[in-house]
A = this chain, B = another copy of it.
Amino acid sequence: MEVLAAVFTVRRDPAGRQRLHVLLWERAREPDAGRWALPGGLVLKDEDVDTSAARQLAEKVDLTRVTHLEQIGVFSNPGRMPDARVVATGFLGLVPLDADPRLPEDTAWHPVDDLPPTALDHGVIADRAHRRLQAKLSYTNIGFALAPATFTIGELRRVYATALGHDVDPTNLQRILTRRGMLEPTGSTAAPGPSGGRPAAMYRFTIGELRVTDPFAAFRPRPVSTEPRQETS
């Protein structure tokens, strides 16, 4: 029984482009020496898989910077490892944009859309985690785990756009997250850019842990509002 974590973060690649990256380390020993693997390892006798994932991740990155960690599924193909039978629990981990934790020698961030050769079934696990992240960006506040503590709408827009892989409208982003009660202004404003322009307002996520947006509620009757009508300007 092992755990494997696909940890994502938004950062600039060497060319300066903002892209979604996943944390990988290069295997020195067989099997699959030289290929790149997800952080993880065997689960100890006295820990559950979530604790184990956090513990093993701590060997690769500063754990305080891992703002989200959740199970994504069990990978148990009998032939997934050449010799022994090891069942893996896959995890999705997230690190905020501004963390940039110190990494060991053998470990590095790799753009998810341009991965090096991956070890065993780790590529499959990373892919599943990536899709889970994309889905949850739409209906949860999971963005808090990728964004800095405070940010402008423009910065948040870029984080969402790189994680989702398509452009995002800032008006829409702001209105949706606000309506859901996930976003609030801090009151302060960012310094305007070098070329001037209106200074952007700073925002933060209201909640620092995963919340689902009263989930995709079809077939649910509209609640009868006995309350006085929402104030309209």
Residues on A lying within 8 angstroms of B by beta carbon are 1, 43, 45-50, 71, 73-74, 76-78, 85, 87, 89, 135, 137-139, 160, 164, 166-169, 172-173, 176, 215-221
Contacts and interface: CB of A to CB of B under 8 A. Distances in A.
Centre residue among A50, A215, A218, A219 by max chain B CB count within 10 A: A219
A12 B120 CA distance: 48
The 6 closest A-B pairs by CB, nearest first: A48-B76, A138-B218, A49-B76, A139-B216, A168-B219, A138-B216
Contacts of A87: 1, 43, 49
A47 B78 contact: yes
Given A49-B76, A78-B48, A135 B216 contact: yes
Contacts of A139: 215-216, 218
Determine chain A's interface SS by DSSP, over half rule: loop
B49 A74 contact: yes
A219 B137 contact: yes
Contacts of A138: 215-220
Contact of A78 (B45, B77, B89, B135): B45
7 contacts: A1-B87, A46-B78, A49-B87, A74-B74, A139-B216, A139-B218, A173-B219
A5 to B, nearest CB: 13
B215 A135 contact: yes
Contacts of A74: 49, 71, 74, 89
Contacts of A43: 76, 87
A30 B152 CA distance: 58
Contacts of A76: 43, 48-50, 89
A173 to B, nearest CB: 6
Contacts of A218: 138-139, 172, 176
Contacts of A166: 220-221
Contacts of A50: 76
Contact of A164 (B160, B172, B219): B219
Nearest to A87: B1
